[in-house]
Amino acid sequence: MLEQLLIFTRGGLILWTCKELGNALRGSPIDTLIRSCLLEERSADGVFNYDAPGAAAYTLKWTFHNELGLVFVAIYQRILHLLYVDELLYAMRQEFSHIYDPKRTAYDEFDEIFRQLHMEAEARAEEMRKLKQAGKAAPLLGKKQLQGPSQRGVQQGGRKQKIGSNIGSATDEDGADSEKHRGLVNNSSNGHQNGTKESIARKGKENGPPESGAFDVNKLQKLRAKGSKKNASAVISKTSKEEPKKNVKMNRVWGDSPPSESKLDFTNPGDESGEGVVEVVSADQGDSMMDKEEIVSSESEDEEDDKLEGAKSSVKKGWFSSMFQSISGNSVLEKSDLQPALKALKDRLMTKNVAEEIAEKLCESVAASLEGKKLGSFTRISSTVQAAMEEALLRILTPKRSIDILRDVHAAKEQGKPYVIVFVGVNGVGKSTNLAKVAYWLLQHEISVMLAACDTFRSGAVEQLRTHARRLQIPIFEKGYEKDPAIVAKEAIQEASRNKSDVVLVDTAGRMQDNEPLMRALSKLINLNNPDLVLFVGEALVGMMLWINFPSLTRN
Amino acid sequence: MELWMHQIERWFQQAEQWIRQQPAEQLYLTIAVVFIASILLILLRSFNPSKSNIIVLAGLSGSGKTILFYQLRDGSSHQGTVTSMEPNDDIFVLHSEVDKKAKTKPVHVVDVPGHSRLRPKLDVFLPQAAGLVFVVDALDFLPNCRVAAEYLYDILTKASIVKKKIPVLILCNKTDKVTAHSKEFIRKQLEKEIDKLRTSRTAISTADVTNEYTLGVPGEPFSFSHCQNQVTVAEASGLTGEVSQAEHFIREHVKP
């Protein structure tokens, strides 16, 4: 069950909460979500897991309405895998955008609408679960016969439900479950799902991340059913983004479908949200009635054609109309519009030596924040995207806290403990050298320093530090080579608190990030001694390498 | 070439004739209108350098700025708030003054998010600020004392604040709770922290310094009276709506 649902503005005011689910949340999941996810440019993930103090584990899902500046968040217990949350959020977003008014701050009438949407979503989820259970009970053999009529019944039942809903969410889970089907996947069901998915995708233009997709299957089925390259290419382009899945056994297709029958059904294919649903459905629809399958495929074919035409017409839109729209400023940004501009920006980031994964994530996050926004007048898409990207980068690069070492040292001094700084990094970046320079700087500010030689591996490391210490005239704690650095550091800190040094600078051996045992040794050192500051020394010339190093080091 | 000149001459003559034909009053009228319009434009340009009439609400994340904003505007905190991701910017008449008969001028209040990643947003609004309200959480003060003092120090040493002598009000929020600290205590703690910051920040070499100005009198412990701009401390409670001291500050510094 859902714990809480919220709608709030980006400025922070809560516009609506679900009054029925009045459970008090433990901890502060929403604030944590905002701080650690949305503001960290991870808004493209869609899911966030929060562990509240007090053994409550929540999962949060959200969606944005970028034009109005609203955020819709749903919270539920992590152990429950609620599958209708995504579609519920999208439905809420659509409904709420009709009644939203910037001047208003109370939206009580939304309670009614929400209750309806919630019931529908739950009912659908229930149906799917029941079908799944019913489907599992059917025997494998002879399924084809049995599942024919039941399949039709299911489909009609499914369709009836769809009439009631007005949702445009992506049915990611559809493909997943058709995959899970034990080998007798019904192509009609796949086609059906694919058709619904496409129609939904067409309507809502939301290609949510397909977690799986028997889309190769669908693609092949379409190829056979239609036998036209045109559609195949459309399907391929459509499914190219989706993960390839294992091939499943295909049904035979007998000729072309009568198009007229399918056109009569204009119901909004509601989503079979819920993995259970799709699985069940596919289980039921064994070997389809040829007609059924053809209707389905033709329905999907219609949608394919429509999509193709749409694509064609959008291609014709081209330069002239986009120029008009940029001047008039009324076009709504779609993901497809953003893609080329984002790709260009991503390439630029990568040429500036930013790691590919990070650039990708950043672009996704910027896309999530721009989708659905209206273009201002006289602005091009590329300039809007660039502005958004700049803002996102500025946000990421703004330091969370200012590092004022002198202040921290004084604070530690007041508490009577030495301030411990550990220098880490890969080989040869200049840890020992910088350590000596930092020691000199601290000495200039009248802070007593002590060095700790915890690089017990490299020959000459201890002598190097000894020379530095002699030049600076500061004490050094050393234990020679081949000793455990964690123990050496611990004793060094004890020694420092004995002779009242303010700061302890700990030098460690250089290590590569993919060296597991060394990384473990480093984490042991850090956990045992709890330093106040861990300085990662890296070369300024190195870009991508730094990112590869960093996560492994921070993992410890 | 000559042909052109001939053409131009002829046009001139035609224009002259046409002007002569117009009744004199009309001519004078048009000239007068053009003259007045240009004078007005010049006047407006010269008397509108940069309007500073914004009241900025700043402070750490979670100190209660957004609630305060909505209290000032609507008189109620509605259904609560979450961490702001964007500034709240509105021009409105203070809620407590809505009922007054006299025409009260609307104030322009901006609530800047307190999250550390969104600090740069403050600089967007400072050039036009007429006053700054620094909101401090009086309930949870001691754990955040250092961070709050750092933020306050950064604000007090910004060029725009020092040069224009923008008045700052340190507002201790959440005073309706029993364990909230008093404003005197908070003031003293902040002064002590800023004193320490002064020494550590000035010790950094000039290549690193990010604070444009230094505060206070060297050699003496820092006190808010050393600031060139006016710094006052007041109390408020966002949830219960007790924001009269803040409103007083706003009224004082926004020309009515």
Give me the helices (H) in A3-142, please.
Answer: 29-33, 85-99, 110-137
Reply yes or no on whether the pLDDT at B175 is more than 70.
yes
pLDDT of residue B221: 77
Name the residue range of residue B244's domain: 54-253
> Which is more confident, A286 or B222?
B222
Of B62, B81, B196, the CB nearest to A410: B196
pLDDT of residue A450: 92
> Is the same domain home to B16 and B124?
no
Sign of the CA dihedral with B66 first, then B173, B169, and A408 last: negative
> Is the same domain home to B224 and B136?
yes
Work out the end-to-end distance of chain B between its first and last CA atoms, rounded to an integer number of angstroms. Answer: 65
At position A292, the amino acid (one-letter code) is: K
> Is the same domain home to B128 and B242?
yes
At position B145, the amino acid (one-letter code) is: C
Give me the helices (H) in A138-209, please.
Answer: 143-164, 172-180, 187-204
> Is the same domain home to B137 and B180?
yes
> Is the same domain home to B34 and B77?
no
Task: Check if the interface score ipTM surpasses 0.90.
Answer: no
Percent of chain B exceeding pLDDT 70 equals: 86
Work out the end-to-end distance of chain A between its first and last CA atoms, rounded to an integer number of angstroms. Answer: 35
> Is the same domain home to B10 and B135?
no
CA atoms within 13 A on the CB side of A477: 26
B256/B248 Cα distance (integer angstroms): 12
pLDDT tens track, chain A, 556 positions: 777 888 888 888 888 777 766 667 766 778 888 877 777 767 666 777 777 766 677 888 888 887 788 888 888 887 777 777 888 888 888 888 888 777 777 777 777 888 888 888 888 888 888 887 877 655 444 444 444 444 444 444 444 444 434 443 334 344 334 444 443 444 444 444 444 444 443 443 334 334 344 444 444 555 554 444 444 444 444 444 444 445 556 556 565 544 444 455 555 544 444 443 434 444 444 444 444 444 444 444 444 444 444 444 444 556 776 666 656 666 777 777 778 888 888 888 888 777 788 788 888 888 887 877 777 777 777 788 888 888 888 877 777 666 778 888 888 888 888 899 888 888 888 888 999 999 998 888 888 999 999 888 888 989 999 999 999 999 899 888 888 888 999 999 999 989 888 899 999 888 887 788 888 888 888 888 888 888 888 777 665 455 544 444 454 4
Q: What is the mean pLDDT of chain B?
A: 81
Of B78, B119, B197, the CB nearest to A105: B78
Q: Which of B246, B252, B209, B255 is nearest to B59 (CA)?
A: B246
Give per-residue pLDDT as tens, B9-23.
Answer: 999 888 888 877 777
Q: Could you tell me if B61 lies within 8 Å of chain A, comparing CB atoms?
A: yes
> Which is more confident, B217 or A11?
A11
> Is the same domain home to B119 and B26?
no
Q: How many residue pairs bridge chain A and chain B with CB atoms within 8 Å of each other? A: 91
A110/A166 Cα distance (integer angstroms): 16
Q: Which residue has the tokens 């309930």?
A: B139
Q: What is the domain-level CATH number for residue B223?
A: 3.40.50.300
Residues in B closer than 8 angstroms to A4, CB to CB, are none
pLDDT of residue A466: 92
> Is the same domain home to B43 and B60?
no
**Distance from the A438 Cα atom to the nearest Cα atom in chain B, whole angstroms:** 13
Q: Which of A330, A335, A340 is nearest to A370 (CA)?
A: A335
* Cα–Cα distances in angstroms (integers) from residue B19 to residues B2, B10, B29, in the given order: 26, 14, 13
A34/A53 Cα distance (integer angstroms): 18
A5: left (phi over 0), alpha (psi -120 to 50) or beta: beta
Do B85 and A12 make contact, defined as CB atoms within 8 angstroms?
yes
Q: Which residues, in sequence order, are bridge partners of residue A48?
A: A60
> Is the same domain home to B20 and B58?
no
B164 Cα distance to chain centroid: 11
Q: Which residue has the tokens 């899970």?
A: A180
The structural domain count of chain B equals 2
> Is the same domain home to B151 and B174?
yes
* CB distance A392 to A41 below 8 Å: yes
Q: Could you tell me if B79 lies within 8 Å of chain A, comparing CB atoms?
A: yes
Global pTM exceeds 0.80? no
Q: Which residue has the tokens 């409105």?
A: B92
Task: Report the residue of chain B nearest A33, measured CA to CA.
Answer: B83
Of A6, A34, A106, the CB nearest to B78: A106
Residues 6+ apart with CB under 8 A from B147: A401, B60
What is the DSSP pairing of strand A419-424 with strand A503-507? parallel
B168/B171 Cα distance (integer angstroms): 9
pLDDT of residue A248: 54
Q: Which of A160, A100, A149 is nearest to A124 (CA)?
A: A160
pLDDT of residue A491: 92
At position A18, the amino acid (one-letter code) is: C
- Tell me which of B32, B47, B62 is where a domain ends: B47
Residues in B closer than 8 angstroms to A15, CB to CB, are 79
pLDDT of residue B206: 52
Eight-state DSSP code of residue A12: S
Q: Could you tell me if B117 lies within 8 Å of chain A, comparing CB atoms?
A: yes
Q: What is the mean pLDDT of residues B16-33?
A: 83
Residues in A closer than 8 angstroms to B66, CB to CB, are 11-13
Residues in B closer than 8 angstroms to A104, CB to CB, are none
Of B80, B120, B200, the CB nearest to A410: B200
> Is the same domain home to B62 and B146?
yes
> Is the same domain home to B38 and B84?
no
Of A14, A106, A401, the CB nearest to B82: A14
Do A14 and B81 make contact, defined as CB atoms within 8 angstroms?
yes
